[in-house]
Amino acid sequence: MYYQSRSIVLKNRDLRDSDQILTIFTEKEGKVTAVAKGVKKTKSSLRGCTQPFCHSSLYFNRGRDMDLITQGRIIDFFGNSREDITRTLYSMYMMELLDKSLLERVPLPQLYAALARVLELINQQGLDLMLVRYFESRLLVNLGYKPIMDQCAHCGSKELRNSPFSLQEGGLLCPVCMERGQHLMILRGETAALVRLLCEGSIQAVQRVKASPLASQQLEIVLEKYLEYHLERRFKVKNTIRLLKRTLAVSN
Ligand SMILES: [Zn+2]
């Protein structure tokens, strides 16, 4: 059975001869593993549209274990990001997060749209770390970990004063619940507002926001810890996040 979908290659590795096996985030089917036959031959028509930093429309033949890519065309190529080491590493970080955290064949079209738009904007306008934070937030929301910021994440009380953020409960805690809460972080008011904006606002609103250096730093830390806390339980992404961030720090 055939299907077609907009697709972004998350990673590729060589198989026998000139074939490659690709992990792809598709708009319609979610994450899939697929074979691109003969793709390493210079004349292969799949060569262009299955490379990293490409947004493509691909045609698949559904297989028992793996799908087969039959044809495709390029929609957009993120050439500026590929030529720039920092943009390359941040793009790879987002791909790696997806590869490690998504289950196969669970369609997440909204997350797909967010990724495509973030990659496009970073390619066109340069790196904006708020867009990376936006992507991380959308990943959390789409995996069912949307931070609860308008009521107590444990009891639902609306009484939030100097409320700490609980990684375990996934949101703010009221004065009663915070007494026995674990894994708590005290957020600045500005940071809490940024978390809300990232999870609920439009990408245009996120691009317009001017965050203070302190809030930006705290935002990065809380999202990193929250991603680690929840994804690590299921997918062992912790080392990935740390390792990639260390690589980014070296290159900056
Ligand atoms: Zn409570």
Local mean pLDDT, 10-residue blocks, the chain (252 residues): 96 93 97 96 94 95 93 96 89 89 94 98 96 96 95 95 92 93 92 97 96 96 89 58 65 55
Helices 129-142 + 109-125 axis angle, to 10? 170
pLDDT at 239: 57
* pTM of the predicted structure, to 2 decimals: 0.91
Find the 152 Cα to ligand 1 centroid distance in Å.
5
pLDDT at 249: 67
Q: What backbone phi and psi angles, to 5 degrees, belong to 197?
A: -60, -45
Find the 149 Cα to ligand 1 centroid distance in Å.
12
Find the 190 Cα to ligand 1 centroid distance in Å.
22
pLDDT at 36: 97
Find the 227 Cα to ligand 1 centroid distance in Å.
22
pLDDT at 180: 84
Token pair for residue 168?
């375990």
pLDDT at 231: 81
pLDDT at 34: 97
- The domains of the chain, with CATH numbers, are 1-77 (2.40.50.140), 79-252 (1.20.1440.120)
79, 53 Cβ separation under 8 angstroms: yes
pLDDT at 251: 58
